[in-house]
Amino acid sequence: MISGALGEFGRIRRFFAPLAGPGGLGLTDDAALVDCPPGHRLVMTVDTMVEGVHYLPDDPPDLVARKLLRVNLSDLAAMGARPLHYLLTSALPKSVGDDWVERFAAGLAQDQRIYGVALLGGDSVATPGPAALTLTAIGEVECGGEIRRGGARPGDRVWVSGTIGDAFLGLKVLRGHHPDLTDSDRIALIARFRLPEPRTALGPRLAGIAHAMLDVSDGLVADLGHICDASGVAAKVRLTALPLSAAAKRLAAAQPDLAVQLATGGDDYELLFAAPPEASAAIRRLSTELALPISEIGTIEAGEGVRLVDAAGQPIPVENAGWRHF
Amino acid sequence: MISGALGEFGRIRRFFAPLAGPGGLGLTDDAALVDCPPGHRLVMTVDTMVEGVHYLPDDPPDLVARKLLRVNLSDLAAMGARPLHYLLTSALPKSVGDDWVERFAAGLAQDQRIYGVALLGGDSVATPGPAALTLTAIGEVECGGEIRRGGARPGDRVWVSGTIGDAFLGLKVLRGHHPDLTDSDRIALIARFRLPEPRTALGPRLAGIAHAMLDVSDGLVADLGHICDASGVAAKVRLTALPLSAAAKRLAAAQPDLAVQLATGGDDYELLFAAPPEASAAIRRLSTELALPISEIGTIEAGEGVRLVDAAGQPIPVENAGWRHF
């Protein structure tokens, strides 16, 4: 039995039933119904966040909810899919009261409006341990429009959306690093860590353009390595081409070794993709249309592995590709 | 980072990638692809099991895996859906080693063969707390073939598959009750608690027959109450009509108040449904064809709530409808 005055059924009725879309059947049935339009396929992904591992007990509950939803929407975007629905399960300790759940649901409601998705169903259980939250996201692609990791070819250009390294810096700021930053830089970096911006508008537009794609969660170098492994190719990335935010640029100017850390940090949730040179003009037009920077940062080559090079084309050693929560 | 010599990626490659079906893309991509044949809808459900709440740390890992899969398959069956795929997430503490995960995956492999389902994808994270396992199951129904909770009508008969109360007794046996049972009775009852048998063959066959259906997890009386609430009707159940296993019958003969406890126990994962009287012959034929008992136990009436009656039609008080893990 869930703690709190409302109990499990009360919480579902009060906080979650209002989030349910038509397929969720008011959250009163054993399962949800999902339609798939002819000529389309569904795309599904799932992620878990654990209190004390992926977020802190005193993090704002609405931001925890929104991050959980957004990291999943980012996975859908990375396949070129348009988001539609989600399922949610929560294992909550008694210390988590109705107020926390109410604020958590309010965060979901906010992002449902932003991304046009709705709740389909879920499960609520009690746990003696830390809270564990799991979200399954469902999207759709036109048949053949899905973009996988394994299609990169030598000669392709490597592109990345937005800016890289901000979430890594945001976590460092939360841990007391970079005390000399301005308040606005601190706020901007922390926001990027707490509230990723899944590129849901860009992803589906890259069908027929990108040969291979994923979203950057382990760190740009490690994730590009995943594309290389799956595609049987190598990649070269120019560190000076890495798109940095204004705050990251200011820090990197004062600390020359920081750029490599930003290239290997994680939690960016930007789209990283390989596309043939002839697609460059279309990608630049998309960037303008969506008002989203999309930067060419390197090339796909024959071979294996990812090389990071400096302005003179000299290799830069990468000690720690792939960042972990612990 | 996951503990154990293999690490997160090693465990996925070694234990889980062999379980992946075609839509799982070898578990190497950001999301899975799911096709839905024309004229069908997908049905999705999700359940979480927490160590120390839904299973014990020293329970056999293969049985934990199979129960997690089966309770979800039971939800699909309760909608009349045929199971196809599943997604799995695990939050595991360091104390859970590679050996446990290997045995857990072996349990999934065994049930994949039995039920014809395959893994689509998932997520593995670390937790400082107890293990939390979440499984999302995906099935399909023909459009309009889904069976919901809200369609029961006065005059319908109430039916239930299999036998009721065995899982409740199995948990009691595990806790040291009923020491006078024979070994074979003990084993049978414990098996029913640890390894439910989702009625995946029966569920889809009830399309066009059952007006309303669910699977019994909270207890027969409470779950019939859910059908009544959703349908705006009442139900009357004859306690003497409750289908009991041989072991349960022996215990009930010696302890007259036990039958009510069996009707309010939980974790049966039998299908409970309402169907019009003219469907009775078809239901009995199905029972014969599937070699599965399906018992008529009561009737749907106008009004609200569930009444339990004895052989003389006299009401039996139910103190505790709806069983909880704690």
Residue B21 lies in a domain: yes
Average pLDDT score over residue span B213-236: 96
Q: In this structure, are residues A203 and A213 in contact, taking their beta carbons and an 8 Å threshold? A: yes
Distance between first and last Cα of chain A: 32
Q: In this structure, are residues A146 and A212 in contact, taking their beta carbons and an 8 Å threshold? A: no
| The model's pTM | 0.90
Tell whether A184 and A221 lie within a shared domain: yes
Tell whether B284 and B161 lie within a shared domain: yes
Domain stops at, among A142, A168, A184: A142
Give the burial class of A56: count Cβ atoms within 10 A of its Cβ; 0-12 exposed, 13-18 middle, 19 or more buried: exposed
Mutate to test the interface with A, among B46, B50, B140, B226 (most CBs of A within 10 A): B46
Tell whether B138 and B162 lie within a shared domain: no
Domain span holding position B204: 157-309
Distance between first and last Cα of chain B: 32
Query: pLDDT tens, B233-275?
Result: 999 999 999 999 999 999 999 998 899 999 999 899 999 999 9
Q: Which residue has the higher pLDDT, A322 or A202?
A: A202
The minimum CA-CA distance between B184 and chain A, rounded to whole Å, is: 33
Residue B151 lies in a domain: no
- Give the C-alpha separation, A98 to B128, whole Å: 24
CATH code, domain carrying A78: 3.30.1330.10
Residue A324 lies in a domain: no
- The residues pairing with B55 across neighbouring beta strands, listed in sequence order, are B51
Tell whether A262 and A168 lie within a shared domain: yes
- Count of A-B CB contacts under 8 Å: 210
Residue type, B48: T
Tell whether A135 and A206 lie within a shared domain: no
Interface contact B43-A54, CB threshold 8 A: no
Q: Measured between CB atoms, which of B48, B53, B127 is closest to A123?
A: B48
Q: Report residue B145 as tokens.
A: 């073939």
Domain stops at, among B142, B167, B198: B142
Whether A290 has a pLDDT exceeding 90, the answer reads: yes
Q: How many residues does chain B have?
A: 326
Whether A322 has a pLDDT exceeding 50, the answer reads: no
Looking at residue A48, its pLDDT comes to 95
Tell whether B221 and B107 lie within a shared domain: no
Looking at residue B4, its pLDDT comes to 67
Nearest CA to A186 out of A195, A194, A178 is that of: A178
Helix (H, G, I), strand (E, B) or coil at A184: helix
Q: How many residues does chain A have?
A: 326
> How large is the ipTM?
0.86
Whether B325 has a pLDDT exceeding 50, the answer reads: no
Whether A24 has a pLDDT exceeding 80, the answer reads: no
DSSP state of A101: H
Residue A323 lies in a domain: no
Tell whether B11 and B138 lie within a shared domain: yes
Looking at residue B317, its pLDDT comes to 86
Residue A147 lies in a domain: no
Looking at residue B11, its pLDDT comes to 86
Our count of domains for chain B comes to: 2
Tell whether A273 and A134 lie within a shared domain: no
Residue B325 lies in a domain: no
Q: Which residue of A has its CA nearest to B40?
A: A35
CATH code, domain carrying A215: 3.90.650.10
Helix (H, G, I), strand (E, B) or coil at A210: coil
A17-31, A172-186, B132-146, B202-216: the lowest-pLDDT one: A17-31
Helix (H, G, I), strand (E, B) or coil at A294: strand
Helix (H, G, I), strand (E, B) or coil at A96: coil
Nearest CA to B17 out of B83, B134, B146, B105 is that of: B105
Query: pLDDT tens, A195-243?
Result: 999 999 999 999 999 999 999 999 999 999 999 999 999 999 999 999 9
Query: pLDDT tens, A59-86?
Result: 999 999 999 999 999 999 999 999 999 9
Residue type, A98: D
B19-23, B37-41, B54-58: the lowest-pLDDT one: B19-23
Greatest alpha-carbon pair distance for chain B in Å reads 65
Q: In this structure, are residues B130 and B50 in contact, taking their beta carbons and an 8 Å threshold? A: yes
Looking at residue A93, its pLDDT comes to 94
Residue B223 lies in a domain: yes
Tell whether B201 and B296 lie within a shared domain: yes
Residue B26's region, left for phi above 0, alpha for psi from -120 to 50, else beta, is left
Interface contact A214-B29, CB threshold 8 A: yes
Tell whether A102 and A185 lie within a shared domain: no
Looking at residue A4, its pLDDT comes to 67
Interface contact A44-B149, CB threshold 8 A: no
**CA torsion, points B244, B248, B252, B258, in degrees to nearest 10?**
-90
The bridge status of strand B294-301 relative to strand B234-238 is antiparallel
Percent of chain A scored above 90 by pLDDT? Answer: 80
Q: Which residue has the higher pLDDT, A324 or A87?
A: A87
Residue A316 lies in a domain: no
Tell whether B78 and B186 lie within a shared domain: no
Average pLDDT, chain A: 92
Interface contact A35-B43, CB threshold 8 A: no
Tell whether A197 and A131 lie within a shared domain: no
Residues 6+ apart with CB under 8 A from B101: B4, B11, B15, B61, B90, B92
Looking at residue B23, its pLDDT comes to 73
